[in-house]
Amino acid sequence: MRQLPNQASWRAALFPFVFVGLVTACGTSSDNVADTTDDGASSTVATAQTSIGTAQTTVTADPESTDEDSASTDTSEPTQIAAVSTFSIEVWADNWMAVYVDGVLIGEDSVPITTERSFNAEVFTFEATYPFTVAIEAKDFKETDSGLEYIGEANQQMGDGGIIAQVIDTSTAEVVAGTDSDWKALVVHQAPLNTDCEHDANPDATCESLIIETSSDWASAGFDDSDWTNASVWGAADVGPKDGYDEISWDPSAQLIWGTDLRVDNTILLRTTIS
Ligand SMILES: [Ca+2]
Ligand SMILES: [Ca+2]
């Protein structure tokens, strides 16, 4: 359905909205629109497209119609009422995440990313109607756009990331979706690109980063993620999940995911549609 014949021209038209910046001297934290929440504050990318729980089709009688009219002229198909269900999403991230459903922010990590060892699991509850899109902005901590942490300290290093989540239909307790390689992914902050800068005395001057600015509606149901890659699945031994991870009973369908590099990929956008 997405392979429209004119997709190439669509992309050409959309190109100005996708800006790729290569930063070679990154002394300041110039977070972009999809990467503005290192302080744990609400993300500015939440441009609500739809309201969760209001997509229900409501069937009402036409007050103008008479019995005679409806008997003689009503040829409409029977209307099915879309059911609104209640779900929860359990999520653990190294280090921080914000979760959107159909473009609406439904919860974000309660522990600011600037907190040292900010490892914790979160559970958010929401209402939605199938099909719905779950989108997650996930961040590994970086002190600056160098991508490093503990800058100037003995343990100056590249931190690493990782996230796992599962969506549960609360009426049945069934896991209806888990993070896996079917999730679409876009890494919007990569640093350092030149990993040999890790122990430089002034990494803000020598570490290179790649920062991608994407459309502000990236979390909405209608966003076209067909040119995103698939998320990479990682093992627990790779990610080393910490506090909070063991508090959740993870379904086998939920796996730790991230970009292709746990250390260099610092901010990643993730999406899936559940139907
Ligand atoms: Ca980390
Ligand atoms: Ca990192």
C-beta separation of 185 from 270 below 8 A? yes
Residue 242: the pLDDT is 87
Q: Considering every ligand atom, which ligand is closest to the CA of 93?
A: 1
Q: Is residue 128 part of a domain?
A: yes
How many domains does the chain fold into? 1
In a domain, 29, yes or no: no
- Any domain includes 227: yes
Q: Say what percent of the chain tops pLDDT 90.
A: 65
Residue 65 within a domain = no
How far is ligand 1, taken at its centre, from the CA of residue 172, in Å?
34
Report if residue 153 sits inside a domain. Answer: yes
Q: What is residue 76's predicted lDDT score, i.e. its pLDDT?
A: 64
* Closest listed ligand to the CA of 191: 2
Q: How far is the CA of 186 from the centre of ligand 2 (A)?
A: 15
Would the pTM count as exceeding 0.75?
no
Q: Is residue 234 domain-resident?
A: yes
- Residue 182 Cα, ligand 1 centroid: separation in angstroms? 23
Of the listed ligands, the closest to the CA of 94 is: 1
Ligand 1 centroid–CA 191 distance in Å is 13
CATH of the domain at 101: 2.60.120
Q: Whole domain around residue 130: which residue ranges?
A: 84-186+217-274
For ligand 2, the distance from its centroid to the CA atom of residue 146, given in whole angstroms, is: 9
Whether 41 maps to a domain, the answer reads: no
Integer-rounded Cα Rg, in Å, for the chain is 22
- Which ligand lies nearest the alpha carbon of 146? 2
E-state strands within 65-112: 85-94, 96-101, 104-108
Would you say residue 16 lies in a domain? no
Cα-based distances in Å from 89 to 104, 145, 164, 214? 14, 30, 10, 25
Is it the case that residue 93 has pLDDT exceeding 90?
A: yes
pLDDT, tens only, 8-22: 444 444 444 444 434
Contacts (Cβ under 8 Å, ≥6 apart) of 218 = 34, 45, 135, 186, 225, 269, 271
